[in-house]
Structure 1
């Protein structure tokens, strides 16, 4: 969630290597039901003309119905017309064997291990830190295997506009799962007027999914909601250390003058809150158009990060404890039998 207007930009190294093979569940093709009618053969000759007539009528009816039929292809694209075929049933793979991550400083685990630096080994998505127990460790196994089957393309300071390029990198690996967590920097700015417009946010996310589908149409996507920045302000504003750190410039649109409860400051924070809610609505709606995309149902937005779940260096980014909570939320939603509400 590193403020895009902060003076410091730090980017960790990617974890690259290995293959993207995994042991996820595979769905078969249940085949096609052609619905082809048939008539009886043999019998008395006087029935043959009638049988042929009925058969022809049924064939014509089926053909006409086919002209209006539609089906959904394996990558979620709907097709219409007589040539449309029944799509194979897609079942969400609850145990993907390779993961690529895109996003911002949260996924780079900024300020979780040391001040003003990334700590990707503690990332909630692809990290190898046993204390965090990342999503990858929970799904794939030991740290050595995780290192070979995960790739972290997130960048500290990234906004949604940066995600299409990150997604292009992720798609090249053809991972079984891509995790997405981005949006705090779009809302965190020097003023509320500089927040990313909602439609630009939508266009960038839509473009990112298109980039993925061009290269890796069968990759699943897990989308985390944007954290509740107003709750972070409410949690830290009474802490003297947190207030002093925020004066350095973290997320001014929300955290500036943390003790000011006047009408102007209150209205400013309300605008930021409304924008985060709007971003999450976009994530939910766009994800719903992709057959292989699963939104977290607002789970991260609803989670109250506090105390030792926040970095002691900025009272804003998740600590190792907070990263572990993110991993826990993701694992619960990815392994759930149904889509989170």
Structure 2
């Protein structure tokens, strides 16, 4: 800054100028910092884009711990032939049973007192997809937090292949059932189990002399009739039934996927490699207590999982 002067006036003048310059510099820096930081007054330089504000975390639609449960479907959910011959045994139902060995889905989710107070088994032995809308209406009347669906085996297990439920009709029944539930209980969650692998059922039971004789009484004739016949024609018949079951499962998956509050099991029941221990000793078709327990395990795992299967 040149030579220093000894005169006090000059020092004061220079000190004043320096202070003024420092103040100006600080002010300019502060303005620049304001322009380049968070723009508290909402102003930004021309051409600059606004910073996106963080979006709130979405509330998950699926509740992994529902507090009430209604079950719809067919004889599997009624526990048919699991305790005694030709009889429903709802106490061992995979969905709503009270049997401690089976440890049903309702027992796992609600506890023993809750099963009696807040679960309802509305399935019916012999039911097929056409019965589902009416069952769903009855379920909705209880305003449950969760509805379980297991349907389709009877649609495939007809007297003849030509009498199996057409895929289009199966879809229409399922869509009507979901629409009825959404009208009367819009917030209810739905768990949809896949149709079991009927061809595996045939392959597991055909080697048992008693089981194959029981099948001749007319149990699931499309798949299990003439169990020892392995001719081309018989194999084609069984393949046709298997393809229909796969098509039903595709429908279950597709219809469920269109509803934010629905979970399909991802084919878990169809894929389960069950053995004779999981089949009723009276008909080698319906699940035994052991089989009901496995269905409960599959359902509970999928319903309480963080992500859908």
- The one of 136, 151, 155 aligned to 1:167: 136
Structure 2 partner of 1:280: 249
- The one of 239, 243, 246 aligned to 1:270: 239
Q: 1:320, 1:40 → 2: CA distance?
A: 69
- The one of 183, 203, 208 aligned to 1:214: 183
List per-residue Cα deviations over 1:289-337 (Å, max 9, x = no partner).
0000000000000012222210000000000110000000000000101
Q: 2:191, 2:297 → 1: CA distance?
A: 13
Q: 2:254, 2:226 → 1: CA distance?
A: 34
Stretches of structure 1 that go unaligned for 5 or more consecutive residues are 1-38, 44-50, 59-85
Is 1:313 the equivalent of 2:282? yes
TM-score by length of 1: 0.74
Deviation at 1:88, TM superposition (A): 6.6
Deviation at 1:92, TM superposition (A): 1.2
SS of the aligned residue for 2:227 comes to: coil
SS of the aligned residue for 1:206 comes to: helix
Structure 2 partner of 1:139: 109
SS of the aligned residue for 2:147 comes to: strand
- The one of 134, 149, 152 aligned to 2:118: 149
Q: 1:111, 1:305 → 2: CA distance?
A: 17
Q: 1:97, 1:123 → 2: CA distance?
A: 18
Q: Which has the higher helix share?
A: 2
> Is the CA contact (8 Å cut-off) linking 2:61 and 2:260 kept in structure 1?
no
Stretches of structure 2 that go unaligned for 5 or more consecutive residues are 1-39, 51-55
SS of the aligned residue for 2:71 comes to: strand
Q: 2:111, 2:67 → 1: CA distance?
A: 9
> Is the CA contact (8 Å cut-off) linking 2:94 and 2:105 kept in structure 1?
yes
- The one of 240, 248, 255 aligned to 2:209: 240
Deviation at 1:167, TM superposition (A): 0.1
Is 1:99 the equivalent of 2:69? yes
Is 1:112 the equivalent of 2:82? yes
TM-score by length of 2: 0.82
Q: 1:247, 1:265 → 2: CA distance?
A: 15
Q: How many residues align?
A: 263
SS of the aligned residue for 1:175 comes to: coil
Q: 2:57, 2:73 → 1: CA distance?
A: 32
Is 1:179 the equivalent of 2:148? yes
Q: 2:274, 2:74 → 1: CA distance?
A: 18
Q: CA RMSD in A?
A: 2.1
- The one of 92, 99, 102 aligned to 1:122: 92
Deviation at 1:90, TM superposition (A): 3.5
Summarize the alignment of residues 7-22 of structure 1 with structure 2, pairs less than 5 Å apart.
none
Q: 1:120, 1:87 → 2: CA distance?
A: 41
